[in-house]
A and B are shown apart, each in its own frame.
Chain A
Amino acid sequence: MNKAEILIIDDEEQIRRMLEITLKTNNYGVTEAATGNEGLVMASNHPPDLILLDLGLPDKNGMIILQELREWHTGPIIILSVQNSEEVIIRALDKGANDYLSKPFRTGELLARIRSALRSSIMEESEPIINSKDLQIDLLTRTVRKNDKLVKLTNTEYNLLSLFARNDGKVLTHQYLLRAVWGPGFISQSQYLRVFIAQIRKKIEDDPNRPEHLLTESGVGYRFISTPDSSPIVSRIG
């Protein structure tokens, strides 16, 4: 398989250098842009598999770059920014970013986010069965198994979990989830969401207090992480 190409749009040379070393030594191809406009041109000339986008660019606000990219670019975009307020994170996710990491970040965390964003962009609905360690979610038969045992979920719990599974690795904001599962009238009813998440965790996590599948992004939303590497159940074809 070809190396995945990653485009870095960041004006700080030190950060670009660090990212380049990190990514190249982890077998990714790397291209770099120091300004927003340069990044837009590079992304349109050679569409990368993934874009790492800084928000504080000298020529154009990163949010606007994100918006312009999203007009035609469907691949994953991960925001790397020193801004860490929930408002900014939620806005970036609403504008179509797949993920958000605030600087400073740990390298392991960055690589994990990149892996999961790339994986979900390849899957794109084509995979009806999601395997994650001891958990198996079958979107066709609407069944969930843990350790090969059927998990009993209510309709809402299943809808919520399958929504997460179809957006593997992606942060889904509270508002998005409430709107998608309960409808637009419920976007302020975040306590429903919290209760249902707690219920689902009780059913699918070994220790609901230290979840492995369904993670909290504090103040922003939740993220489902599948870890197929350790899945012993199904070997994929193709």
Chain B
Amino acid sequence: MEKDFSILIGGEAGQGTRLAGNLIANLFNKLGYFVYVYEDYQSLIRGGHNFSEIRVATEKREARKKEIDVLIALDKNTISLHQKRLKREGFLIFNADRIEQKKGIGLFADKIVKEEGGIPQMVNTVFISALVRCFGIPFEILENVLREKIKKGIDLNLKIAKRVYQSLESQTKVAEVRPLTSFLLLTGNEACALGMARAGLELYFAYPMTPSTSILNFLAQKEDELKVKTFQPESEIAAINMAIGSAFAGKRSAIGTSGGGFALMVEALSLACQTETPILIVESQRAGPSTGMPTYNLQADLNFVLGAGHGDIVKFVLQAGNAKDALFLGNLGLNLAWQYQTPVILLLDKDVSENTFSVDSKILKKLKIKKPKLFAGKNYQRYKITKDGISPLAFPGFDFIVKANSYEHDESGITTDNEIIAQKMQEKRKRKFEQMEKEVEKLGGIEVFGKKSAKVAIFPLGVCKGSAIELAKEFNFKVIFPWILQPFPEKSVKKELKGVKKIFTLEMNSTGQLANYLKKFGILAQSILKYTGRPFFVDELKEKFKKL
């Protein structure tokens, strides 16, 4: 039987609801469910309102539902903001020390923690244990998760958990649905970091900017395990120029930022193009323009990223719709950068970056390091004119003299404004772009879901992919997700559009940037937009499509 329910846990920043959400996700992961965690938090350190929404299902579900089955309230605000979303038969679990409320399961969490001699954040253990009991989940499973995830004060946490567990009655039964499988819980940023590491990433440079920062933090924490060095320089401009230097010297390098930081990097993006230096740029979008809403999502950097760079720019633009994509594309992106000696931009968004997804770990085994074209022979010329536009690589410090130049240059790298040489170099880079187009054809560049012969197709952007897939199932649509955006996978898209009568895009911006981009290729789509900073609810979309 299909099971699909949502749990919302909310409180003030600093109360630890995010960690609690993560523990709940791990618990259901252990039980063999697919898990998707939406994180909603504000740009502040204490106070305010944070919540995690955990969707648990027997099928892969990567979207939010408006209706929730369990509401766990650490503060009063959580009840007033979210109670209207709770199903009539749903459970409300709340902190009776802080909230006066008749209905639901009230726990004197502060009191329990105090009596047991714990610290304030341990109230989360109280609620998780209550949830586990309500769902009839064996205590051992909770114990395993707590032991795995909590290192400090584990005994005390377990004592608190046990006390709560024993004091409550089971309300329902959640059966284990799959044997323990190989599914990992990863945020998009963690997945992206792992994907890059599997492509041989050696140096990662980043200046902190939400929502890309956790790539830097994750890689820094896993430095010795993943063998990737990280560095936080003085600015985004420094980050990209350093990464270009380290790639020039032969080390696989990547950088990460959000829209504002990317804007600062664009001059050097063009430098990477002109010097033909391989570099992967992860751009995780947040709500703009300008500083915008740092912890909320708008997919409104698409135009900017596609058009970024002065001069005739040769680059790849990829987009991820979930953590699995981020893993695969972080890997592919770095490999493509080296194969084509070009900048590659991997577009994420706040929800892909920071939400947690179930990822089949089998995909990790498929990730490889692809070797670039290296020079062998005598008389090295960095910008040798070749048929495919790709000049073999060599690095300074070894056998050859290597000259890389931001000016237009001749084959050896020396500055030129000679019209014949300049034209040849422009054409060389153009031929390289044509090779990249062929690569896109080879890769396909799209993922298709839903009914093959569908008359309606949806193109989702980033995290909207999860909602689109659910919609397609309900209405017999098909979903076309172009994970390569530039060069555009025109052939494979047009093949999929045969027989399609109506096309929609699903995007989180106010102008329909994806629909406008598709127009360039003669694809006319109606855009379904949301631009509140929060991703679509699947039920909200279903209502909308019923009316259409």
Q: Do A and B come from one complex?
A: no
